[in-house]
């Protein structure tokens, strides 16, 4: 290709290595990704190029005029192609940032979201207010282990159990636990909801970001989500609440009296979930918390000292 190729040309960073500088490739690739419907195409192109060159994204800004070698272009091209097919950036990079963690991610797990960082924040605030030391927590549907590992890393939690019914997701959680040095404090178990939790085993906190997308909404999802992330991590039956109903029905058996229930749900589900929690007769101080964008996204409640 020649030095004049643009995103609309259908050409790409092929051959003619000398004509491609860092700046020119960044610009071309960003426009190409945006043309393919990628929301932040320019930013993603920078991440992919930095990854291909084995450098930091901001370093690219210091090397605008550096010509790229053929081998570097060869390394970059398949990454760009994958993102253009709407594979999530995090799966291509194999990493996702979550609070203080840099997690391994791939198609076996949901990519942790910023809203879930706020769910962790809500639990940490509660722990601070309780003034407790050596607390315990259970994370139901742990996926990458994002919530469980963050609580063990950032909070006064000496024992955190993460459960998931997906053996594949747990493989990823184990990789993340091993990378984190939190192995002794984080126990990962395979099982449907509370089945891997012993009868009578209770925690100070039970937290969950369960699957809650209604099956009818599958067609509304971005390709990055609907076509790439695991369905078992996304969908909660016809109205999205199937997993949450089972979770709420049993959660009281595994929370100590006065302990915290914290669950992330869809913005249109908080009232229904708060009602499910109230109907158990096991909770008080049932409240809805909003995310940083102001959307109601979390239901929190305290386990009654004595169930009614």
Ligand X SMILES: C[S@@+](CC[C@H](N)C(=O)[O-])C[C@H]1O[C@@H](n2cnc3c(N)ncnc32)[C@H](O)[C@@H]1O
Using CB under 6 A as the criterion, which residues of the chain lie in contact with ligand X when the complex forms? Answer: 110, 112, 116, 140-144, 146-147, 163-166, 169, 192-193, 209-211, 232-233, 243
Q: Which is nearer to ligand X, 209 or 269 (CB)?
A: 209
- The dihedral over CA atoms of 302, 247, 295, 41, expressed in degrees to the nearest 10, equals 140
Give the residues across from 97 on adjacent strands: 102
- Please, what is the minimum distance in Å from the beta carbon of residue 214 to ligand X? 14
Q: What share of the chain is helix, strand, coil (3-state, %, to 5)?
A: 45, 20, 35
Name the token pair of 58: 């901001």
Closest CA to 113 of 244, 251, 266: 266
Q: Which is nearer to ligand X, 33 or 169 (CB)?
A: 169
Helices 146-154 and 167-180 pack at an angle, to 10 degrees, of 30
Q: Which is nearer to ligand X, 29 or 270 (CB)?
A: 270
Q: Which is nearer to ligand X, 12 or 141 (CB)?
A: 141
Closest CA to 139 of 147, 127, 131: 147
Please list, in sequence order, all residues whose beta carbon lies within 8 angstroms of the beta carbon of residue 221, skipping any fewer than 6 positions away.
213, 234
- Please, what is the minimum distance in Å from the beta carbon of residue 94 to ligand X? 16
- Please, what is the minimum distance in Å from the beta carbon of residue 133 to ligand X? 25
Q: Which is nearer to ligand X, 69 or 102 (CB)?
A: 102
32 within 8 A of 63, measured Cβ to Cβ: no
What's the distance, CA 10 to chain centroid? 34
Residue whose entry in the numeric block shows the structure tokens 């305290």 = 302
- Please, what is the minimum distance in Å from the beta carbon of residue 151 to ligand X? 11
d(CA 96, CA 264): 19
Residue whose entry in the numeric block shows the structure tokens 């043309």 = 35
- Please, what is the minimum distance in Å from the beta carbon of residue 169 to ligand X? 4
d(CA 106, CA 235): 18
Q: Which is nearer to ligand X, 163 or 262 (CB)?
A: 163
150 within 8 A of 142, measured Cβ to Cβ: no
Name the token pair of 231: 């369905």
- Please, what is the minimum distance in Å from the beta carbon of residue 299 to ligand X? 15
- Please, what is the minimum distance in Å from the beta carbon of residue 241 to ligand X? 12
Q: Which is nearer to ligand X, 147 or 261 (CB)?
A: 147
């Amino acid at each position: 290709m020649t030095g004049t190729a643009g995103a609309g040309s259908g050409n790409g960073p092929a051959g003619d290595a000398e004509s491609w500088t860092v700046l020119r490739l960044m610009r071309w690739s960003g426009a190409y990704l945006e043309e393919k419907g990628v929301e932040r195409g320019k930013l993603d192109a920078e991440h992919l190029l930095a990854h291909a060159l084995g450098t930091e994204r901001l370093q690219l800004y210091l090397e605008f005029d550096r010509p790229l070698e053929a081998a570097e272009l060869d390394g970059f091209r398949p990454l760009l192609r994958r993102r253009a097919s709407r594979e999530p950036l995090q799966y291509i990079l194999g990493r996702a940032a979550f609070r203080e963690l840099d997690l391994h991610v791939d198609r076996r797990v949901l990519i942790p979201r910023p809203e879930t960082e706020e769910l962790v924040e809500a639990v940490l605030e509660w722990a601070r207010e309780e003034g407790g030391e050596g607390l315990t927590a259970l994370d139901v549907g742990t996926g990458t282990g994002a919530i469980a590992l963050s609580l063990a890393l950032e909070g006064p939690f000496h024992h955190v159990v993460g459960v998931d019914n997906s053996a594949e997701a747990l493989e990823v959680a184990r990789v993340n636990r091993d990378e984190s040095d939190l192995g002794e404090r984080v126990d990962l178990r395979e099982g449907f909801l509370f089945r891997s939790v012993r009868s009578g085993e209770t925690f100070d906190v039970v937290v969950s970001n369960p699957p809650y997308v209604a099956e009818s909404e599958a067609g509304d999802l971005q390709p990055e989500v609907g076509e790439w992330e695991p369905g078992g991590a996304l969908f909660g039956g016809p109205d999205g609440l199937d997993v949450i109903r089972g979770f709420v029905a049993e959660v009281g058996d595994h929370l100590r009296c006065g302990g915290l229930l914290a669950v992330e749900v869809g913005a249109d589900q908080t009232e229904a979930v708060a009602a499910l929690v109230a109907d158990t007769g096991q909770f008080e101080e049932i409240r809805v918390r909003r995310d940083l964008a102001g959307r109601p996204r979390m239901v929190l409640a305290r386990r009654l000292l004595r169930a009614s």
